[in-house]
Amino acid sequence: MQIGAIFPHQEIGSDPLVIRDWAQAAEELGYSHIIAYDHVLGANHDNREPPLWGPYTEHDAFHEPFVLFGYLAGCTKTIGLGTGILILPQRQTALVAKQAAEIDLLSNERLRLGIGVGWNYVEYDSLNESFADRGARQEEQVDVLRALWQEPLVTFKGKWHEVERAGLKPLPKRQIPIWFGGFADVAFKRAVRLGDGFMFGSSQEQNLAAFERVSELLAAASRERASFGIEAFLNYQSGQEHWRAEAEAWQARGADYVSMRAMALRGLGGGLDSPQAHIDALATYWSAVGDLSSP
């Protein structure tokens, strides 16, 4: 099992040297990868119909993951770069294919593309994409991404996409792994059918229950567990007395990755109060669980 760190969007600030220092500290300590969230726009929740139920508003900062990873690819040497998750249906598929391919090439194949459908319909509307059909569109998007990463010239005609004898150049050197995230059964089923793995992003208790459900779905689909990756996000705010037991629970279940999350999250209290505190937290958490990490 490998141990990663979730990029603390909300508290890290915008100083490029601080962002560099955080990423390099994670790499030097031994963290295997960095996970970045994705929101293009924040929205005010007041007087919306239907209500916006998600945890973030216009006050929450999010660095754009592909631009961030382009920067971090040059600041680091080996640490993996994963989106956790990219809200794929609110983005143009061919452009995502191009951006992901470029990150993977420039980072020497360090990208893992985690995808999901999101919750913020205001963000979809502002990006001129449909919120209503986002799940079905995402499935077609996965097919388009893989085709564009595979062939120099692609012809594809689907319900939402049409590509006629066109392709990326340069192509990535491999099929970039596509993992899924989400909280509903439909996301679990979609991941088992189409994905290379799943990222569980809720509380420890909810993540373990979701893992059992995904395991049932894998068995029902006759899909080998070894062919499907598992990652769980573990919360720094759960307290140092719980960190090791939480990580060991996932190690016992054969998880491929866990990632430490220290940024503010609704229901868990606030994040740490400064960028330096986040850098310090990397070392504190690693001292408690780092020996569980293995290639």
Average pLDDT for residues 8-29, to the nearest whole number? 96
Q: How confident is the model at residue 266 (pLDDT cuts 50, 70, 90)?
A: low
Give the model's pLDDT for residue 272.
Answer: 82
- Find the length of the chain: 295
**Could you tell me which residues come within 8 angstroms of residue 23 by beta carbon, excluding any fewer than 6 positions away?**
7, 34, 72, 75, 76, 79
Side chain identity at 185, as an amino acid letter? Answer: D
The pLDDT of residue 169 is above 70? yes
* Mean predicted lDDT score pLDDT of the chain: 96
Average pLDDT for residues 256-281, to the nearest whole number? 84
CA 82 to chain centre: 5
Tell me the percentage of the chain whose pLDDT exceeds 90: 94
* 27-76 confidence digits (pLDDT tens): 999 999 999 999 999 999 999 999 999 999 999 999 999 999 999 999 99
Single pTM value for the model? 0.96
Give the model's pLDDT for residue 217.
Answer: 98
Q: Which SS3 state, helix, strand or coil, does residue 177 take?
A: coil
* 239-253 confidence digits (pLDDT tens): 999 999 999 999 999
Give the model's pLDDT for residue 151.
Answer: 97
> What does DSSP assign to residue 171?
P
Both ends of the chain: CA-CA distance in Å? 7
* 79-130 confidence digits (pLDDT tens): 999 999 999 999 999 999 999 999 999 999 999 999 999 999 999 999 999 9
Give the model's pLDDT for residue 206.
Answer: 97
What does the block give as tokens for 6? 């979730």
The pLDDT of residue 268 is above 60? no
Give the model's pLDDT for residue 264.
Answer: 77
* 193-212 confidence digits (pLDDT tens): 999 999 999 999 999 999 99
Comparing 295 with 285, which gets the higher pLDDT?
285
Comparing 70 with 263, which gets the higher pLDDT?
70
How many CB atoms within 10 Å of residue 159?
10
Question: Which domain, by its residues, includes 161?
Answer: 2-292
Q: What is the tally of structural domains in the chain? A: 1
Domain holding 281: CATH number? 3.20.20.30
Q: Which letter, b or e, does each residue of 66-82 get, where b requires 16 or more Cβ atoms within 10 Å of its Cβ?
A: bebbbebbebbeebbbb
Separation of alpha carbons 53 and 69, rounded Å: 29
The pLDDT of residue 270 is above 90? no
